[in-house]
Amino acid sequence: MLDKEILQLNSDISIAIEVLNARQLRITFDDKILSIGKIINTLIKNDCIEVTVNKQKFHYKLFLLTKLNSNSLLLSTNYPTKAKHFLLPLLGFNKQTFQVDTYLEDVRLSKDLDKIYLTYRYFKGEVFNNMESFLKKHSNYLHFYDVDTEHVVYEFSINPEQMETVKLFTKGMYSHFPVKYKEFILKFFELTQDGETYKILYKEESRRKQLELELLSEIPSHLDLWDAPDMEKEIQDSI
């Protein structure tokens, strides 16, 4: 969690907004007093929630509102691209280096599939500055773009020898990634063999059976076990 803000509606009613990361807020309230409709009407203006982190104002645009339980909601700001999960590791290092769980909001590809764009929510401070310094020294770094006062996009090239992996990604052929790269994805995100990513990458039979139960349909053994990316949503808009 990056910060927490308490909105006091009156002497008895308050709403807590936790800034979890660059794209998610957790909203907590007393469900005996407030309804979800009341929360939405109170907090969301022009499809955004305004929050303050270290005296810096941010606007989290509503993409998805998920009910966690009777007194909490999760707001997500954008479509969670598969490129973030499967192609960000092409740049090496690890998720901490790229501040994946804090400042990174989005990862997309260029139309020609030869570049990758990382969108960050700009938080003032030493941690962000150190991360930005690392990004600009990366061997694949090309440019940065200030999109608005809250967001900055960093552009990186994709090495020619990695293009085959990118092409496999576009077809949803995750299990066909080179074994070495599969292992690095798991290492990059600190994932285990018990998790869904491992089962997708290695086409685990347990996941196949699980999906067959959910879909009430047999899944042929040659098919991968996650849907292919919607490439219209994986491509970076013009900056």
Q: pLDDT tens per residue, the chain (239 residues)?
A: 788 988 887 767 889 999 999 999 999 988 887 888 888 888 999 999 999 888 899 999 999 999 999 899 999 999 899 999 999 999 999 999 999 999 999 999 999 999 999 999 999 999 999 999 999 999 999 999 999 999 999 999 999 999 999 999 999 999 999 999 999 999 999 999 999 999 999 999 999 999 999 999 999 999 999 999 999 999 998 87
**What's the pLDDT at 91?**
98
pLDDT of residue 53: 87
Helix H or strand E segment including 181: helix 179-189
Select from 31, 36, 85 the least CA-distant residue to 65: 36
Distance CA 139, CA 20 (A): 30
Residue 203 Rama label (left phi>0; alpha psi -120 to 50; beta): left
Handedness of CA 225, 236, 136, 127 (dihedral sign): negative
Residue 18 amino acid letter:
E
Contact 105, 116 (CB under 8 A): no
pLDDT for res 83: 98
